[in-house]
Structure 1
Amino acid sequence: MVYMTKGAMGLVALFAVLILGLCFWHNINWDEFHFLSIPFDMARGQVEKPLQTFHAHLFSWLTHLPFSEIGMVIAGRIVAFGCLMGTLYFIYRIASIFAPKPYAILGGLAYVTSGFVIGHGASFRADPFAAFLLMGALYLLFCHPLRARPLLVAGFAAALSVMITIKSLLFIPAFVGALIWRGTSRDAVLRIVLAGVAAVFMLLAMFLWHKSQLNIPSNISGAEATQKVLKNASGRTIFGAGFLPAKPYLKVWLIYSIVPLLAALAALRAGTGAGREKWVLLTLCLPLGSVLFYGNAYPYFMPFITPPMMVAAAVGLRRLDGRRFALGGVTGLMALGGITQAVLTSQETQSAQRQTIAAVHQLFTEPVPYIDRNGMITSFPKVGVFMSSWGMENYRKAGQPIFQKALEQETPLFLIDNTRYLQAALEGDARIANCCGFFPKDAQTLRQNFLPFWGDIYVLGKRLQMAKGLHEVTIYHAGPYILDSQTPVFIDGQRIEQGMQVALSAGIHRVETSHPHQMRLRWAGVVPDALPPPPETEIYHLFWGIR
């Protein structure tokens, strides 16, 4: 038993070290950059939505670090790694109620080697922080005396997790389990219920305070903004997501999580304590059932939703007590799955991201407006819609092109082609545009006003198919422009030839040509001479190639 305990602890420590190392190496997902962008938007007074933005207060310190966006995400990941270690500790402590210490440790090993935890358990998203808070609240309810202080701390942790992400409500069955386990007397039930009521009031207080800090448009009330977010969130992620909406990812998760899943099922069959333990273990497994209907059950969701189930897994693994070879085989299988995931994850590097971000900061020493998918250059103000699948659905529901107005009012100077929606617009891919991409007018606006510059970076300019005669061309940003044209043209009466620069003011200019041809005018406020060759790989990797 001593060797088993030391071996399990050694494996958990090994995978903890691997996860920490991957924090510095693993490709940063687009929503990690988006999560980082919220504190910057908060500092600029650009946050309007009171839900899912509370972490801007918790991570405002990141905006003061002398790092690039990559360094800031890594700093956030290190905090997330600490939360992951806390979650592991809470799994162990809660499991210790139901199983001996070695099996409680195996429950932690089952979690850290289960599907997607190694790659995404310490990602800079809401999920690791919410999982830590929720498991901490459950630990206090399961393991501590039901006194005022731990109950209030548990209530505060649960309320804070909901402020960070609404999907924390999916943990409600696990909290019912705590009530079942500790509610053996009327006094205990009353104390836990009062803690729940206190949590609701703390949640309301945090929400009202946070809303007061936001720059909500005067024509939209905070209640309207909240109602709209809740309606969109529930409609897309729950009621409109269908059955098993993330099936491809779930299949992969099952492959790497078969041991804890079977162990949890075994625990439900062998529950003791006159049925009470079985019901408690069932409630701890129920949050995982959300994968049946939750629309955003992507790989990063699994490390968030599975920790309660790992308590049941620890109890199930206890059934192998005395069967040394079976226990060793199961432990080896979990370790093999964890190592395989570490190898796959290590192949998804940050190389293209580091090169692209470094190029942006080399070209633009001061923040300027720009367009991209998710706010990748978080220290710069992003222009346009948030280009997640959900964001694009909301864009199309609004029914209005946006980029002509954005160019006129905000004048983004560059664009990062880091999503298929932008790629389709810039390349004229009608398959995406007609399905779920930008409206034709927006796609044309982007294609005509941004030119390839370096890698996935496009800069402001004009791309025009010129017919013979006189044309009016709108310039959105004053400055020098370089002509790319095989035919000389006259701009405001001045003859300009291939490669020549011309200073243009913002506004309408008269361009005349004697032959039909394609003409480009690229803003020359930045030059690529000192930049290294652009990366050849994609900025964002798929999850191990899974679509």
Structure 2
Amino acid sequence: MKRAVIALNNYITLIKTPFDQKMALSQSIWSGVLVLLLLLLLFSKIHIAFNYEINWDEFYYLSFIFKHLRGELSSSLQTFHVHLFSWMSLLTFNEVNLVVVGRIVMVLLQVLTGAFLYSICRNFLTVTASLFAIFSYFSFSYILLMGASFRTDPIATFCVTAIVSILLNFQKKNYLILTSALLGSISLLVTIKSVLYLPTFILLGLRRILLSNERKEDLMYVAKILISTLVFFLIGLFFHKQGVESPIKQAEVSLLTHSFSKTIEQAEFFPGKAYFLNTLVFDVVFWGTLCSGCVLFWTIDKQKFISEPALLNFKFISWVMLYVAFLLPLFSILFYRNAFPYFYTFALPLASFFCGLVWFCLFDKFESKAKHFIAGTFIVLLVLNTVKMAVERPQTRSNNSQKLLVNEIHKIFPKPVSYFDRCSMVSTFRQVGFFMSSWGMENYKANLTPTFEQIIIKSQPVFYIANIGYLEEKTLKVELDNSIDLSETDKNVIGRNYIHHWNKIYVAGKQFNFGHSSSELNFHIQISGVYTLEAGSKVNINKTPIYPGETLFLSEGRHQISAKDGSGIVKLRWGDNLYVPSNEVQIENVFSGF
């Protein structure tokens, strides 16, 4: 029997339909232009991967790999990537360069995502229209800048687009079942937000059954994919949990429930509205094209989409299902709490089909001169935006200061020590604090994370990085006009136990001001270790004379210090004469945001 649709056997090879064979020379030229522009986008992405500022999420994502290798991974949820990237620990790069390596891997996944998106579009559109859909997707500002960031999103996007491509392929091959099931399970193991694509998968599966001349066989085919995905997911989860330090089922179920409640149930309507309004300015051509495609979808002769006569008796409902399935992921930005700029990589690939549809209609309905002028205008505007983003952003928001900071930390501390910061920026060291994202700070205020007082008492972190405003020295001394801030107790604990070392780095230590009179002061050491005296003259510590530059071991507990008249500022700094960088570059902000 004839298949309802003959889709792609090879997702990269360009397959010619009868419609394509009638394509004019101009279409071939445009295809060549679009291929060259896609190569430009690829080089732009590589340039951005090497030079664009590392986001706090990317450092945090990297840290899980080293936590896993140290046996400190405490949750199996959304940490499966540690198995995919454990090889990165063999590289001798610093953390910034390790993230860059991860980004390059994500660029490769984006290339494959583009291939699968092409295969999806080619079920309905011409070669040139499909290429334009891909170009529209990758030239979108957030996707250009963050589409290949070292996060879950590029992995999950690659997996879901591949599954959609397979569902639109009406061949019933066992290797396609296994491939889709494997990709589906990896996507879920990497990030639970992959369930946002579940309605799309269901609609496309039902559409496949509806259009089939062998509905029973296709029903079994879709069922096999679902069952195989579940089996692979459970096997992968079981394997992953063996490397988790505390695989407590109740705690993980609670975390999963809390995550769902936080990201969807408690989220306000359109939580990422500000980011969306921002992209309306930078990506007006994309949104205008997308909206036009959504309207044109209902006005065109859909028989032109079809390469098989068997589909001439298609049902209207199948097109409604396709329309909804392709747009549903995008509409998740209306309710998903974490619809930050990087999320558009995950939300937009299928919706980009409608951009390709505009190109398809343009060359089908318009006169020659008009359509070439309009198409050229689209291309020029998208290219200008791409070049502006690719050149300007890595310059104004480069990762040079982050490289400098991380390099100097490794010079100050040649061997790993414990510390805390916003996001585990030095993942080869043991970070003992919590992830200070907006979500993390909300949990802190709700007493769902340890206080810094508890962290310092338990783990004795040797230094911290002030890579978030809450940890800045000036911020610790004032009360912010903000409902989310560190408690006064934690501010005092941090201020009492750390002194400024260099730039954004603070180390364990004490500072005393003896002024113009001699006196004896009592002080408490919370972080035990070797300390170096920094003073203008000799002081007595616990009745023992110590000279400037000399070291002594101070255990946790109470101690005494005395100095002669006019000693002024006296400091005890953790470590044996710690290296102080000579570089005077002042880093204003380690992170600039999205």
Deviations 1:5-39 (A, max 9, x none): 11111111111111111111111111111111111
**Bigger mean CA offset, 200-209 vs 262-271:** 262-271
Partner residue of 2:349 out of 293, 307, 312: 307
| Alpha-carbon distance between aligned partners in 2 of 1:107 and 1:399, rounded to the nearest angstrom | 44
Which residue of the partner structure matches residue 244 of structure 1? 270
1:389 maps to 438
Match of 1:503, SS state, is strand
Matched residue, 1:527: 578
- Offset at residue 209 of structure 1 (A): 1.9
**Among candidates 194, 198, 204, match of residue 234 of structure 2:** 204
Q: C-alpha distance in 1, partners of 2:274/2:384? A: 22
Cα distance in 2, alignment partners of residues 270 and 482 from structure 1: 80
Aligned residue number for residue 481 of structure 1: 532
Distance 1:16 1:250 in 2: 24
1:35 maps to: 61
Shift of 1:191: 1.1
Equivalences for residues 69-468 of structure 1 within 5 A: 69-143=95-169, 145-183=171-209, 184=211, 185-216=215-246, 222-255=248-281, 256=283, 257-270=286-299, 272=302, 273-275=314-316, 276-321=318-363, 322=366, 323-346=371-394, 347-398=396-447, 402-423=451-472, 427-431=476-480, 435-463=483-511
Displacement of 1:514 after TM fit?
Answer: 8.6
Report the Cα distance in structure 2 between the residues aligned to 1:391 and 1:400, rounded to whole angstroms.
Answer: 8
Contact 1:38 1:47 in 2 (8 A): yes
CA shift for structure 1 position 406: 3.0
Deviation at 1:226, TM superposition (A): 1.8
Shift of 1:428: 1.9
Q: What is the CA-CA distance between 1:268 and the residue it aligns to?
A: 3.8
Aligned to 2:554: 505
Alpha carbons 2:64, 2:79 under 8 Å: kept = yes
Return closer, same or farther for 1:473/1:518 CA change in 2, 3 Å cut-off. Answer: farther
Q: 1:186 and 1:111 mapped to 2: Cα distance?
A: 36
Q: Distance in 2 between matches of 1:96 and 1:447?
A: 61
Task: Give the counterpart letter for 1:396 in structure 2.
Answer: K
Distance 1:207 1:42 in 2: 15
- Structure 1: runs of 5 or more not aligned: none
Change (3 A) 1:199 1:466: farther
- Identity value in percent: 26
Deviation per CA, 1:377-430: give whole Å up to 9, x if none.
111110111111111222222267533343344222111110122127863231
Letter in structure 1 aligned against 2:340: Y
Q: 1:400 to 1:310 in 2, by over 3 A?
A: closer
Paired amino acid for 2:94: S
> Taking structure 2 as the reference length, what is the TM-score of the superposition?
0.85
Gaps of 5+ in 2: 1-26, 303-313
CA RMSD of the aligned region, Å? Answer: 2.5
How big is the shift at 1:190? Answer: 2.5
Q: Which amino acid aligns with 1:116?
A: Y
Q: Which amino acid aligns with 1:186?
A: K
Contact 2:110 2:158 in 1 (8 A): yes
Deviates more, 1:285-294 or 1:248-257: 248-257
**Higher Cα Rg, which structure:** 2
> Contact conserved, 2:160 with 2:187, CA < 8 A, in 1?
yes
Segments ≥4 residues shifted beyond 6 Å: 465-468, 513-518
Provide Cα deviations, 1:227-269, integer angstroms capped at 9, x if missing partner. 1221221222111120111111111223313244224423443
CA distance in 2, matches of 1:401, 1:259: 47
Q: 1:535 to 1:470 in 2, by over 3 A?
A: closer
Query: Aligned letter for 1:492?
Result: N
SS of aligned partner of 1:479 = strand
Q: What is the CA–CA distance in structure 2 between the aligned matches of 1:233 and 1:242, rounded to whole Å?
A: 15
Letter in 1 for 2:159: L
Report the CA distance shift for 1:399/1:176 in structure 2 as closer, same or farther (over 3 A).
Answer: closer
User: 1:535/1:143 Cα in 2 relative to 1: closer, same or farther (>3 Å)?
Assistant: farther
Question: What's the secondary structure of 1:307's corresponding residue?
Answer: coil
Partner residue in 1 for 2:541: 491
Query: How many pairs align?
Result: 536
Query: Are 2:262 and 2:337, in contact at CA under 8 Å, matched by a contact in 1?
Result: yes
Kept in 1: contact 2:540–2:562 (CA 8 A): yes
With over 3 angstroms needed to count, the CA separation of the structure-2 counterparts of 1:206 and 1:425, relative to structure 1, is farther
User: Structure 1 residues 472, 364: CA separation in 2 closer, same or farther (over 3 Å shift)?
Assistant: closer
How far is the alpha carbon of 1:274 from its aligned partner? 4.0
Name the CA shift for 1:399/1:469 in 2 (closer, same or farther; >3 Å).
farther
Cα distance in 2 between the residues matched to 1:420 and 1:314: 44
Q: Is the 8 A contact 2:170 2:208 kept in 1?
A: no
TM-score of the superposed pair, with normalisation by structure 1: 0.91
